[in-house]
């Protein structure tokens, strides 16, 4: 299998070299940039990349701006992992809504960073479950998108249309954090005025119906939800 190609955009040399070291040890092909200008040059000349690992606070342009550029000019679906020292929930939501798939806060542990990298790359590597696949299965949970059925450990689970849409949105984005607003848009369409906490109520009800299979849905405190990879 061809190794994944990753662009690391980080202005702190020690952190950049640490990330580079561990990514290369795992067999990835890695390019690095220390500021926005270098990042854009590499995006244009050395891309495409399978994953972009972008620090939020950068000289010349922020990680948010770089992420928006990637989403606009490169791909709306390529994996983007944001590294940030900003830990407030509002900041995390801002990063995700700019186009990041996931985030790691500084200071981070290398095993956690590498696990996030592997989880996101599964979305771009051969064999990853396509969003257009007819079925999702993990553990005892099986979601049949064509038949609109859900089962847990072989027993059928009866969901409302909204609950099924919510579950489908989560499993089709496995490993990716979805903000409450993003889930509202996916389930009910853009422009619908629904408070964030309505999603919490829907998720609570969904988990209850799924029973032990509901454990696959992880709460990202203050941000939203994701299905574990």
pLDDT in tens, 82-105: 998 877 777 788 888 888 888 888
Distance in angstroms (rounded) separating the CA atoms of residues 116 and 144:
27
Query: Domain extents for the chain?
Result: 5-121, 135-227
Average pLDDT, the chain: 84
For range 51-78, the mean pLDDT: 89
Q: Residue 126: exposed, middle, or buried by beta-carbon count in 10 A (0-12, 13-18, 19+)?
A: exposed
What pLDDT was estimated at residue 191? 45
124 touches 4 (CB < 8 A): yes
Instruction: State the Cα–Cα distance between residues 4 and 87, nearest whole angstrom.
Output: 29
147 or 87, which is more confident?
147
**Scanning the structure block, which residue is given the tokens 């989880």?**
119
pLDDT at 193 exceeding the cut of 70: no
Please state, in angstroms and rounded to a whole number, the distance separating the CA atoms of residues 75 and 67.
Answer: 10
Q: What pLDDT is recorded for position 124?
A: 60
pLDDT at 127 over 50: no
Structure tokens of 19?
Answer: 């990330």
User: Could you tell me the pTM of the whole model?
Assistant: 0.66
At the topology level, CATH places domain 5-121 in Rossmann fold (3.40.50)
What's the CATH code, domain 135-227? 1.10.10.10
Which three-class secondary structure state does DSSP give residue 74?
A: helix
Identify whether 107 is preceded by a cis peptide bond (ω within 30 of 0): yes
């Amino acid at each position: 299998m061809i190794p994944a190609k990753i662009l690391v955009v980080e202005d702190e040399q020690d952190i950049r070299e640490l990330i580079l070291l561990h990514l290369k040890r795992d067999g990835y092909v890695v390019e690095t940039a220390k500021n926005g200008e270098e990042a854009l040059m590499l995006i244009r000349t050395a891309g495409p990349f399978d994953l972009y690992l972008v620090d939020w606070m950068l000289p010349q342009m922020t990680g948010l701006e770089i992420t928006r550029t990637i989403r606009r000019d490169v791909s709306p679906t390529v994996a983007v992992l944001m590294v940030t020292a900003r830990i407030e929930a509002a900041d995390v939501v801002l990063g995700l809504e700019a186009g990041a798939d996931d985030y790691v806060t500084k200071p981070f542990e290398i095993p956690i960073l590498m696990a996030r990298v592997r989880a996101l790359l599964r979305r771009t590597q051969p064999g990853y479950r396509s969003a257009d696949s007819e079925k999702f299965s993990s553990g005892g949970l099986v979601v049949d998108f064509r038949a609109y059925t859900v089962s847990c450990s072989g027993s059928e689970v009866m969901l409302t249309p909204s609950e099924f849409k919510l579950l489908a949105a989560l499993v089709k984005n496995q490993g990716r954090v979805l903000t409450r607003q993003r889930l509202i848009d996916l389930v009910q369409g853009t422009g619908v005025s629904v408070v964030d906490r309505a999603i919490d109520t829907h998720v609570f009800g969904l988990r209850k119906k799924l029973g032990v299979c509901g454990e696959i849905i992880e709460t990202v405190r203050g941000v939203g939800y994701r299905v574990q990879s």
